[in-house]
Amino acid sequence: MRAFLDFLYRLSGALAAVGMVGTLVMVSTGIVSRPLGIYLPGTDDYAGYAMAACGFLALAYTFKHGEHIRVSLVLERTGPRLRRALEWFSLAGATVVAGMLAWHAVHLAWESHAFGDVSQGVDATPLWIPQLSMAFGTVVLLIALVDDLVLTTLGRTPARLAGAGAEAARME
């Protein structure tokens, strides 16, 4: 199971990188084509879709690598038992919020498909297609949070926190 979850987080990160490259390609294409008098409809829209995909798909990968911003000012000044309890409550709260976000993202993509919603741009893209990246990214983030919540509940230290002390010492 651990190998599958790690693969899922890496896949999400790789798809985010594809979104970043897609943003670069679309923006560069627009910049190069305009002075040449070539109009390529939809490049701005697709750049926006790719940028949004990049942000949502990177959530779980970034979280599992300990790169999300953590305000640890209070945690650093507490004992190990209180620190573990605070970590558990913050993970539980984040899991609830991510669960609601994932539910609504999936519901939005489903409704867009059911109603046949299309973008307002000249390309009239079915909106459920770019919304899939938001739905997938939030679901994978939810899985990552549940993963860490279960590990914390079992008394294990999540991998993203295992090297936190060494990382903090290296940063100073």
pTM of the model: 0.86
Q: What is the pLDDT of residues 39-53, one digit of tens each?
A: 888 888 999 999 999
| pLDDT for residue 17 is more than 90 | yes
At residue 69, the pLDDT reads 77
Average pLDDT for residues 71-93, to the nearest whole number? 87
Average pLDDT for residues 142-156, to the nearest whole number? 92
At residue 123, the pLDDT reads 83
Q: What is the pLDDT of residues 25-74, one digit of tens each?
A: 999 998 999 889 888 888 889 999 999 999 999 999 999 988 887 777 77
At residue 1, the pLDDT reads 86
Show Cβ contacts of residue 51 under 8 Å, excluding neighbours closer than 6 positions: 19, 23
| pLDDT for residue 172 is more than 70 | no
